[in-house]
Amino acid sequence: MRFCRLIFLFPVLVLACKVSKPVNRAYNEDLSVYRLELPKVIDVAPLPKTFKESVELYGHITKEIDSISHLMVAQNKKLNLRDGFVIQVYSNTNRDEALDIHNYCQDIFPELLINLTYNQPNYRIKIGAFHEKLTATRFLNDIKMTFPKSIVIAEKIPIIGPDE
């Protein structure tokens, strides 16, 4: 039985591996019938436009844009917030555990801002207020030993002036 299979499969394998001969005929078909005839275009460099009189912008649109931008700047100064980064060290539903970790963080990092927030159903503890992600990431590497699940989060942080 095994011998019969070999006798049948051997010629199949030999014929399947046979090298095919390349085709020596050149391909020639006239496709000019299908080509579109386009008009010839002569390239002429355009002359630069010169105005006899200077053009002045007029209207109230620039004044409106300036006033809107001044309003936005004034509102942002009132908010006293800017884009920054904080490190979240805890996020869970257990209030007692959150308070314990908050007190522990205040003991370890007394110089940093530590926030305990409650967004139903989670308590979150966030440490620091970093203006750059690089400094937050560097501090995160130190915190990871104590809080391995801590992460850097983009958030609005308070602006601290020179007198504060």
Q: In this structure, is residue 131 part of a structural domain? A: yes
Q: In this structure, is residue 83 part of a structural domain? A: yes
CATH number of the domain within which 154 lies: 3.30.70.1070
Residue given tokens 């805890």 in the structure block: 90
CA atoms within 13 A on the CB side of 74: 6
Instruction: Determine the pLDDT at residue 163.
Output: 46
Question: Which residues, given as ranges, of the chain have pLDDT below 50?
Answer: 163-164
Number of domains in the chain: 1
Q: Give the percent of the chain with pLDDT over 70.
A: 82
Residues near 159 by Cβ (< 8 Å), separated by ≥ 6? Answer: 80, 81, 82
Instruction: Determine the pLDDT at residue 17.
Output: 66
Instruction: Determine the pLDDT at residue 75.
Output: 82
Task: Spell out the SS3 assignment of 66-121.
Answer: HHHHHHHHHHHHHHCEEEEEEEEEEEECCHHHHHHHHHHHHHHCCCCCEEEEEECC
Q: In this structure, is residue 126 part of a structural domain? A: yes
Q: In this structure, is residue 73 part of a structural domain? A: no
**Element spanning 45, H or E:** none
Instruction: Determine the pLDDT at residue 138.
Output: 94
Q: Write out the residue range of the structural domain in which residue 107 sits.
A: 78-158
Instruction: Determine the pLDDT at residue 51.
Output: 63
Instruction: Determine the pLDDT at residue 52.
Output: 66
